[in-house]
Amino acid sequence: MFMSYKFEIENLNAWFGSKQVLKQINMKIREKAVTAIIGPSGCGKTTLIRCFNRMHEIVPRAKVSGKVLFNGVDIYDEHVDPVSLRRKIAMVFQKPNPFPMMSIHDNVAAGLKLSGMRDREKLDSIVERSLKMAILWDEVKEDLNKSGVNLSGGQQQRLCIARALAVEPEVMLMDEPCSALDPIATAKIETLIRMLANDYTVVIVTHNMQQAARVSDFTAFLYLGELVEYERTKDIFENPKRELTEKYITGAFG
Q: Confirm whether 254 is domain-assigned.
A: no
| Structural domains in the chain (count) | 1
| CB-based contact 185:153 (threshold 8 Å) | yes
Q: Which domain holds residue 36?
A: 5-249
Cα-based distances in Å from 104 to 78, 131, 140, 158, 167: 37, 10, 8, 11, 16
Does any domain span residue 230? yes
**Cα-to-chain-centroid distance, residue 153:** 18
* pLDDT the model gives residue 1: 47
pLDDT of amino acid 252 = 86
What CATH code is carried by the domain that includes residue 23? 3.40.50.300
The answer as to whether 217 is a domain residue is: yes
Helix axis angle, 104-114 relative to 120-133, nearest 10°?
Answer: 120
Q: How many residues does the chain have?
A: 254
DSSP element (H, E) containing 121: helix 120-133
Give the tens place of pLDDT for each residue, 166-212: 999 999 999 999 998 999 999 999 999 999 999 999 999 999 999 99
| pTM for the full predicted model | 0.94
Mean per-residue pLDDT of the chain: 95
Confidence class of residue 253 from pLDDT cuts 50, 70 and 90? Answer: confident
The pLDDT of residue 3 is 64
pLDDT in tens, 35-66: 999 999 999 999 999 999 999 999 999 999 99
Q: Partners of 221 in the beta sheet?
A: 38, 229
Task: Classify the C-alpha dihedral 47-53-57-59 as positive or negative.
Answer: negative
